[in-house]
């Protein structure tokens, strides 16, 4: 199998300023005074957390707990203060002490044990729930349903949901934070369960009655304002302790994150992804790597961690039982490959460190392996030259055609890119300025329906400067406020014009008739047509179309399953070349249809098309068998090429329960001028391998990849 990756000139100006310098080196360096101060949280490589339960003061062995996390070489631990149940002798009203706390200072003991071992301590709080006595004393703190009733927690009806627009967040939580500052030597503060993940809140309390209707764009504005306001407030409280302290919160949710990630990225020091793992459902294997791409798109090289749940994620879940070791390991692999720091998360310390102790040793081995190779995981920049636009607004507000789900567009495009072995980054829709796009020769817009006039203008300027674009379906058919346009915002760029409303499928979807040969049709012989897509926007005829629409017809009965109209002049694709710029527009929801139908023609057509727009000189190519995901970074030590082996029966469903090795992967990589490779080491196999070239271009073959391999290139 021969597959090419996208091009990169390795001359990017978009260099990420992610410098990791061990503290000891700084202290002893003669030049330490001249070096820019690197905040401690940017030097973190590993994080650990035993998520404390109410019972832990009675059962957790604090010394064993601290020894365990120190043995994983973590840089920080999260210790529960909470807000739902206090783990210390609080004086804040309605901060209820846990049943097993007694007169102990459990938080203080844990904090002291961690500090004794040189670990940073993050105080963890949960502002999302409180008890009935608080509802009676402070009815204004709580979420209300449309009838005005306080909203119970769905699992434990003794708890009620608080509202983020109330004084719970500006009085109660700050009181706890300041109490912690007054009592303990903490290094940062974290809130779990706020901001909410995946869906915006819908509340009818007295405060929220003054807000726009939940679920609207106007509501989102207020939500973002409030989120940034609270974030800055909590950060300022954290800094009252010492200036190096900071606040961060629960994020994650992939592309469908609630807060505007670019705005939040300006104030967020640590992107904590609560993206703990898959269950038995059909979540694809790459969920964690996708999350890493989101962080990279918005974080400008700041700290990002992905919380990996050692516990049994999914439905039903078992919070206190270990999941499949291989599944957990693949999540760690994806965390590292995509540029985040791994975070091992276990729940509760029954019987010392848990009744189920199977989750202790595998993470210790993995984290210690990683610690031997830290300089290769300190990334300076991605060397991908293909950008995939992540339309956060589209994922939150766009209503796709009936019967379809927004995530299917990205799942389909993601799988297509992996199968085609493309090297790519995500690019956020709010980061399309020339300096954001300078490293990319092409951008892919998977049904990026919502785009502002300014964003369209930025894409137009990108094309005028020689950049290439591939877009699908309703891309640019809505403004950034989700208002439909009469024609595409990018109509002039692609040379297209809307000629009707979205056409769906009853029975047999439309076909794409081959009108003339083109590199995007490589591999299609002995056929006059290929599949179209499930939904399409009719567009006006163009000169010299490559594919035209054969309208759909019934699938049953077969007697009637033939085209009523065998030929039209409606384009099924529009292909243009404007100077250096190559442009492809698909009127169909081709990536989503590929995902739903599994049709290999659609994957091939998309891959050929992406390859054509991306250009002929990829920065890295990896040839070999198997379905892999790849990342390539410039690192502290040189370069690193990461290969995740997804060739596994659990790729699309369920947990990984075993690994299936793939054979030789031949890597060819362009090197920037002046960089010379002196050694190639496989970090998983912990062995050096031979290579050809070394300046200009380098070639080597990774003989075998079990679940994950990293080829570390040492540069002179």
Q: Which is nearer to Zn ion, 163 or 251 (CB)?
A: 163
Selected binder of Zn ion within 5, 208, 384, 406 (CB under 5 A): 208
Q: How far is the CB of 174 from Zn ion (least distance, A)?
A: 18
Q: Where are the beta strands (DSSP E) in 482-552?
A: 511-514, 529-531, 547-550
Least distance from C-beta 203 to Zn ion, angstroms?
3
Cα–Cα distance, 716 to 713 (Å, whole number): 10
- Angle CA 564–565–568, to nearest 5: 165
Q: Which stretch binds Zn ion (CB under 5 A): 66-74, 204-212, 464-472, 606-614?
A: 204-212
Binding window for Zn ion (CB under 5 A); candidates: 16-24, 78-86, 198-206, 455-463: 198-206
Torsion sign over Cα 250, 49, 243, 126: positive
Stretch that binds Zn ion, among 30-38, 164-172, 191-199, 701-709 (CB under 5 A): 164-172
- Specify the residue for token string 């848990």: 354
Which part of the chain contacts Zn ion (CB under 5 A), choosing from 161-169, 279-287, 399-407, 645-653?
161-169
Minimal distance, residue 214 CB to Zn ion, in Å: 9
> Sign of torsion, CA 145 151 155 157?
negative
- Using CA atoms in the order 81, 86, 90, 94, what is the torsion angle rounded to 10 degrees? 120
Report the residue number, 206 or 240, with the smaller CB distance to Zn ion.
206
Whether 210 contacts 270, CB under 8 Å: no
Nearest-angstrom CA–CA distance, 196 and 200: 7
Q: What is the DSSP letter of 24?
A: H
Q: Cβ of residue 390: shortest distance to Zn ion, in angstroms?
A: 29
The region of 32-40, 155-163, 362-370, 383-391 touching Zn ion under the rule CB under 5 A is 155-163
Residue 287 CA to residue 293 CA, distance in Å, equals 10
Does residue number 370 form part of the binding site for Zn ion (CB under 5 A)? no
| Contact window for Zn ion (CB under 5 A) among 31-39, 197-205, 520-528, 685-693 | 197-205
**Closest to Zn ion by CB, 120 or 144:** 144
For position 230 contacting Zn ion by CB under 5 A, the verdict is: no
- Of 208 and 264, nearer to Zn ion (C-beta) is 208
Comparing CB distances to Zn ion, the nearer of 169 and 640 is 169
Choose the stretch contacting Zn ion; rule: CB under 5 A; options: 90-98, 186-194, 205-213, 690-698.
Answer: 205-213
User: Least Å distance between CB 208 and Zn ion?
Assistant: 3
- Give the nearest distance from C-beta 209 to Zn ion in angstroms: 8
Question: Which CB atom, from 222 or from 485, has the smaller least distance to Zn ion?
Answer: 222
Please give the Cα distance from 382 to 14 (Å, whole number).
9
For the chain, how many residues are written? 716
**Residue ranges of the alpha helices (H) in 501-571?**
none
Min separation Cβ 144 and Zn ion, Å: 7
- In whole angstroms, what is the distance from residue 441 CA to residue 218 CA? 35
Which pair of tokens denotes residue 400? 């796709």
Q: Which of 10, 163, 341, 390 binds Zn ion (CB under 5 A)?
A: 163
Instruction: For the CB of residue 163, give the shortest distance to Zn ion in the complex, in Å.
Output: 3
State the minimum distance, in angstroms, from the CB of residue 85 to Zn ion: 23
Q: Which is nearer to Zn ion, 163 or 542 (CB)?
A: 163
Residue 396: CB minimum distance to Zn ion, A: 19
Per-residue three-class SS string for 606-671: HHHHHHHHHCCCCCEEEECCCCEEEEEEEECCEEEEEEEECCCCCCCCCCCCCCCCECCEEEEEEC
Binders of Zn ion in range 235-294 (CB under 5 A):
none
- Closer residue to Zn ion, CB minimum distance, 207 or 695: 207
What is the C-alpha to C-alpha distance for residues 640 and 203, in angstroms, rounded to an integer? Answer: 47
The CA distance from 47 to 51, in Å, is 13
Q: Which of 101, 205, 307, 437 binds Zn ion (CB under 5 A)?
A: 205
Q: β-strand 620-623 against 665-670: which pairing, if any?
A: antiparallel
The residue (of 208 and 298) whose beta carbon lies closer to Zn ion is 208
Of 205 and 410, the one with the shorter C-beta distance to Zn ion is: 205
- Specify the DSSP class assigned to residue 46: -
By beta-carbon proximity to Zn ion, the closer residue of 165 and 271 is 165
Q: Which is nearer to Zn ion, 134 or 208 (CB)?
A: 208
| Dihedral pair phi/psi, residue 702, rounded to 5° | -85, 115
CB of 199 to Zn ion, least distance (A): 15
Please state the closest distance from residue 53 (CB atom) to Zn ion, in A.
29
- Give the whole-angstrom CA distance, residue 576 versus residue 585: 9
Stretch that binds Zn ion, among 158-166, 344-352, 585-593, 611-619 (CB under 5 A): 158-166
* Nearest CB to Zn ion, comparing residues 163 and 193: 163
Q: Give the burial class of 269: count Cβ atoms within 10 A of its Cβ; 0-12 exposed, 13-18 middle, 19 or more buried.
A: middle
203 binds Zn ion (CB under 5 A): yes
User: Whole-angstrom Cα distance, residue 182 to residue 68?
Assistant: 28
> Which range of residues in 203-211, 347-355, 451-459, 503-511 is near Zn ion by CB under 5 A?
203-211
Distance set, CA 172 to CA 20, 91, 131, 135, 298 (Å): 37, 12, 13, 13, 31
Chain contacts with Zn ion (rule: CB under 5 A) = 163, 165, 203, 205, 207-208
């Amino acid at each position: 199998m021969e597959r090419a990756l996208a091009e990169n000139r390795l001359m990017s100006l978009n260099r990420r300023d992610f410098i990791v310098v061990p503290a000891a080196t700084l202290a002893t360096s003669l030049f330490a005074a001249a070096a820019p101060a690197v905040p401690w949280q940017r030097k973190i490589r590993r994080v650990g957390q035993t998520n404390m339960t109410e019972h832990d003061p009675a059962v957790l062995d604090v010394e064993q707990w601290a020894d365990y996390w120190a043995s994983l070489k973590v840089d920080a631990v999260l210790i529960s203060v909470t807000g739902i149940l206090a783990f210390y002798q609080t004086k804040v009203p309605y901060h209820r002490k846990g049943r097993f706390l007694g007169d102990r200072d459990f938080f203080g003991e844990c904090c002291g044990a961690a500090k004794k071992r040189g670990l940073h301590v993050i105080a963890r709080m949960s502002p999302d729930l409180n008890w009935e006595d608080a509802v009676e004393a402070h009815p204004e703190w709580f979420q209300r349903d449309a009838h005005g009733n306080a909203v119970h927690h769905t699992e434990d009806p003794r708890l009620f949901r608080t509202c983020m627009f109330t004084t719970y967040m500006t009085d109660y939580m700050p009181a706890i934070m300041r109490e912690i500052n007054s009592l303990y030597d903490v290094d940062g503060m974290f809130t779990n369960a706020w901001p909410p993940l995946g869906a915006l809140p819908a509340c009818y309390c007295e405060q929220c009655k003054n807000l726009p209707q939940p679920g609207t764009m106007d509501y989102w504005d207020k939500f973002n304002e409030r989120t940034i306001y609270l974030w800055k407030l909590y950060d300022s409280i954290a800094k009252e302790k010492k200036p190096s302290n900071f606040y961060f919160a629960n994020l994650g949710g992939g592309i469908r994150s609630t807060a505007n990630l670019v705005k939040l990225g300006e104030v967020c020091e640590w992107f904590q992804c609560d993206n703990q793992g898959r269950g038995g459902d059909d979540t694809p294997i790459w969920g964690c790597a996708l999350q890493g791409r989101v962080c990279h798109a918005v974080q400008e090289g700041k700290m990002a961690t992905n919380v990996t749940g050692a516990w049994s994620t999914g439905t039903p879940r078992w919070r206190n039982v270990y999941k499949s070791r291989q599944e957990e390991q693949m999540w760690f692999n994806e965390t590292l490959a995509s540029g985040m720091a791994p975070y091992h998360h276990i729940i509760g310390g029954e019987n010392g460190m848990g009744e189920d102790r199977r989750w202790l040793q595998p993470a210790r081995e993995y984290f210690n392996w990683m610690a031997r190779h830290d300089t290769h995981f300190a990334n300076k920049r991605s060397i991908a030259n293909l950008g995939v636009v992540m339309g956060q607004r589209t994922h939150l507000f766009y209503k796709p055609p009936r019967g379809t789900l927004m995530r299917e567009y990205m799942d389909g495009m993601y799988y297509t890119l992996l199968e085609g072995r493309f090297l790519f980054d995500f690019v956020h829709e709010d980061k399309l300025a020339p300096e954001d796009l300078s490293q990319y020769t092409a951008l892919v817009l998977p049904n990026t329906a919502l785009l502002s006039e300014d964003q369209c203008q930025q894409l137009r300027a990108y094309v005028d400067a020689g950049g290439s674009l591939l877009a699908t379906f309703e891309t640019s058919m809505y403004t950034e406020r989700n208002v439909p346009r009469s024609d595409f915002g990018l109509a002039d760029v692609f040379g297209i014009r809307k000629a009707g409303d979205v056409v769906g499928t009853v029975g047999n979807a439309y076909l794409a008739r081959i009108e003339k040969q083109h590199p995007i049709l490589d591999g299609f012989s002995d056929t006059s047509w290929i599949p179209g897509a499930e939904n399409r926007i009719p567009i006006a005829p163009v000169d010299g179309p490559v594919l035209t629409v054969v309208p759909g017809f019934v699938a049953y009965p077969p007697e009637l399953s033939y085209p009523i109209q065998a030929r039209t002049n409606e384009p099924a694709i529009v292909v243009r070349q404007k100077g250096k710029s190559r442009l492809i527009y698909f009127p169909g929801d081709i990536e989503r249809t590929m995902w739903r139908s599994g049709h290999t023609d659609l994957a091939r057509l998309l891959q050929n098309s992406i390859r054509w727009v991306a250009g002929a000189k990829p920065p890295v190519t990896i040839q070999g068998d198997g379905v892999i995901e790849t990342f390539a970074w410039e690192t502290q030590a040189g370069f690193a090429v990461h290969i995740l082996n997804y060739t596994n029966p659990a790729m699309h469903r369920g947990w990984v329960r075993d690994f299936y090795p793939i054979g030789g992967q031949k890597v060819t990589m362009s090197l920037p001028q002046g960089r010379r490779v002196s050694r190639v080491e496989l970090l998983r196999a912990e062995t050096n391998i031979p290579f050809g070239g070394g300046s200009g271009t380098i070639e080597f073959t990774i003989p075998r990849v079990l679940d994950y391999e990293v080829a570390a290139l040492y540069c002179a």
